[in-house]
């Protein structure tokens, strides 16, 4: 039986070769340090875990939840947005609970894409924007994120006829994989662009709370008129070290939030209520919990940036995320360099082309391990690779 075209059209899995090499190395007993995966290693906050325990004991939480989420949780999201961004949201009509933001990012295309329609997708970028577009039968139009533009998309480079045809535009700052950040001015330009071409903006704010050195990331929702043109995906995964819990929200334009809720009601029936109540405890609790996480990543960034500079890279510390986006040395493709680092140093880095064609020539370092291991990884790279030629 042949699989459906939407599955066959999915791009090939680019990390397969690296994974095979890792498996081989591990079999030989080699100690591998992974700077690959972007999954926080710190535990979830204890008051969140306690709230889960209490809520799990309550049998009223054991039935199907509302597919759009508990009003209590959605209120907490709205309150958080008010405190943190001074953005007003109606929890009933402008907030929907998600089973992790990946779920919402994938499902939003089903709400707006008919076969052959276009979504504007950043490249390099989180793969789900493009994959969700393809699964819904649409075509991603790639917006290259270039270093000379601070890894912001150049809206003026999008052809008029593409912009007119496009349904959704995905943006993501602080950005995975580049670590770049955006300011309100950029969001204002995006609002104007979306109004001009009648498209819906989907801002992925997964790292809005993962910032350091005094930098505070704005929300797309802060830009005037943002609520008329789009939504934002806010996730507890990264700021609260809760990737395994699968809890997030989409906020903003009411008819878009409603459409997402309607799709979800037909697919996943919502998030476990005990998880929503635990997440509520996180959002309602002290911001110090997030601040502590920020400090951990900031220290790791310092160690890594300093180590990379010693190796010959001239780079600045990112203001947000736990990623560093680095140019590969002369004479290597991204994949070749990742393989070389694995072979010579026993260190996993992610080749940039895994995030799209414009990621070629870069690699991504993720700082989800403790700083001693990061130091060790850099030492091994120094010993194994010598001085880097850029």
| Cα-based torsion angle of the residue sequence 243, 246, 247, 251 in order, rounded to the nearest 10 degrees | 100
Smallest distance from ligand PLP to CB 130, Å: 12
- Does residue 38 belong to the site contacting ligand PLP (CB under 6 A)? yes
Among 44, 61, 101, 293, binds ligand PLP (CB under 6 A): 101
Burial pattern 332-363, b for ≥16 Cβ within 10 A else e, equals bebbebbbbbbeebbbbbbbbbbbbebbbebb
Smallest distance from ligand PLP to CB 275, Å: 12
Rounded to an integer, what distance in angstroms lies between the CA atom of residue 387 and that of residue 382?
7
- Does residue 209 belong to the site contacting ligand PLP (CB under 6 A)? no
Which residues, 232 to 261, sit near ligand PLP by CB under 6 A?
235, 237-238, 243, 248
Smallest distance from ligand PLP to CB 39, Å: 8
Number of chain positions touching ligand PLP (CB under 6 A)? 14
Q: Where are the alpha helices (DSSP H) in the chain?
A: 5-8, 16-27, 46-57, 71-85, 101-112, 128-135, 160-165, 184-197, 226-229, 254-265, 273-284, 288-311, 334-345, 371-385
- Does residue 172 belong to the site contacting ligand PLP (CB under 6 A)? yes
Give the count of beta carbons closer than 10 Å to the beta carbon of residue 20: 10
- Does residue 178 belong to the site contacting ligand PLP (CB under 6 A)? no
Q: Which is nearer to ligand PLP, 345 or 366 (CB)?
A: 366
One DSSP character per residue, 279-347 reads: HHHHHHS-THHHHHHHHHHHHHHHHHHHHHHHHT---PPPSBSSEEEEEPPTT--HHHHHHHHHHHH-E
Part of the chain binding ligand PLP (CB under 6 A), chosen from 22-30, 100-108, 298-306, 339-347: 100-108
User: Locate tokens 């325990």: which residue?
Assistant: 53
Smallest distance from ligand PLP to CB 247, Å: 8
Residues contacting 155, CB < 8 A, separation 6+: 189, 190, 193
Smallest distance from ligand PLP to CB 246, Å: 7
Smallest distance from ligand PLP to CB 180, Å: 12
The DSSP output letter for 38 is -
CA-based nearest residue to 197, from 141, 158, 237: 158
Part of the chain binding ligand PLP (CB under 6 A), chosen from 24-32, 95-103, 145-153, 222-230: 95-103
Q: Which is nearer to ligand PLP, 197 or 362 (CB)?
A: 362
Q: Which is nearer to ligand PLP, 126 or 187 (CB)?
A: 126
Q: Which is nearer to ligand PLP, 172 or 276 (CB)?
A: 172
Part of the chain binding ligand PLP (CB under 6 A), chosen from 97-105, 114-122, 324-332, 366-374: 97-105
- Does residue 176 belong to the site contacting ligand PLP (CB under 6 A)? yes
Strand partners, 123: 144
- Does residue 126 belong to the site contacting ligand PLP (CB under 6 A)? yes
- Does residue 123 belong to the site contacting ligand PLP (CB under 6 A)? no
Smallest distance from ligand PLP to CB 102, Å: 3
Smallest distance from ligand PLP to CB 60, Å: 26
Rounded to an integer, what distance in angstroms lies between the CA atom of residue 83 and that of residue 60?
30
Q: Which is nearer to ligand PLP, 294 or 378 (CB)?
A: 294
Question: 241 φ, ψ to 5°?
Answer: 55, 50
Are 270 and 66 in contact, with CB atoms under 8 Å apart?
A: yes
Rounded to an integer, what distance in angstroms lies between the CA atom of residue 113 and that of residue 265?
18
Q: Which is nearer to ligand PLP, 365 or 381 (CB)?
A: 365
Q: Helices 334-345 and 16-27 meet at what angle, rounded to 10?
A: 10
Q: Which is nearer to ligand PLP, 102 or 167 (CB)?
A: 102
The two structure tokens encoding residue 125? 């970028």
Q: No. of H helices and E strands in the chain? A: 14, 12
Q: Which is nearer to ligand PLP, 113 or 205 (CB)?
A: 205
- Does residue 211 belong to the site contacting ligand PLP (CB under 6 A)? no
Among 100, 130, 179, 359, binds ligand PLP (CB under 6 A): 100
**Residues interacting with ligand PLP, by CB under 6 A?**
38, 100-102, 126, 172, 176, 204, 206, 235, 237-238, 243, 248
């Amino acid at each position: 039986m042949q699989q459906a075209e939407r599955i066959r059209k999915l791009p090939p899995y680019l990390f397969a070769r690296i994974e095979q090499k890792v498996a081989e190395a591990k079999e030989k007993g080699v100690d591998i340090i992974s700077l690959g995966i972007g999954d926080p290693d710190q535990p979830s906050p204890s008051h969140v875990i306690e709230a889960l325990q209490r809520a799990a004991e309550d049998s009223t939480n054991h039935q199907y939840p509302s597919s759009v989420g508990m009003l209590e949780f959605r209120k907490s999201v709205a309150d958080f947005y008010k405190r943190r961004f001074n953005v007003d949201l109606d929890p009933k009509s402008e907030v929907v609970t998600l089973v992790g933001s990946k779920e919402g990012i994938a499902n939003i295309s089903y709400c707006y894409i008919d076969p052959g329609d276009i979504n504007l997708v950043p490249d390099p970028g989180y793969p789900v924007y493009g994959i969700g577009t393809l699964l819904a039968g649409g075509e991603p139009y790639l917006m290259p994120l270039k270093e000379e533009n601070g890894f912001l998309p150049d809206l003026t480079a999008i052809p008029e006829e593409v912009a007119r045809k496009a349904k959704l535009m995905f943006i993501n700052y602080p950005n995975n994989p580049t670590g770049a950040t955006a300011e309100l001015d950029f969001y204002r330009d995006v609002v104007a662009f979306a109004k001009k071409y009648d498209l819906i903006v989907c801002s992925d704010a997964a790292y809005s709370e993962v910032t350091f050195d005094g930098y505070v990331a704005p929300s797309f929702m802060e830009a005037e008129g943002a609520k008329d043109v789009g939504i934002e995906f806010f996730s507890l995964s990264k700021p609260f070290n809760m990737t395994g819990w699968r809890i997030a929200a989409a906020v903003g334009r009411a008819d878009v939030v409603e459409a997402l809720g309607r799709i979800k009601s037909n697919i996943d029936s919502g998030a476990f209520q005990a998880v929503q109540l635990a997440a509520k405890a996180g959002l309602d609790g002290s911001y110090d919990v997030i601040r502590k996480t920020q400090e951990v990543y900031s220290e790791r960034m310092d160690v890594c940036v300093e180590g990379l500079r010693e190796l010959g890279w001239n780079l600045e510390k990112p203001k947000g995320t736990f990623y560093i986006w680095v140019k590969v040395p002369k004479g290597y493709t991204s994949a070749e360099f990742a393989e070389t680092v694995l072979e010579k140093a026993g260190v996993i880095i992610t080749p940039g082309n895994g995030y799209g064609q414009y990621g070629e020539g870069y690699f991504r370092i993720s700082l989800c391990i403790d700083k001693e291991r990061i130091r060790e990884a850099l030492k091994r790279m120094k010993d194994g690779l010598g001085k880097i030629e850029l």
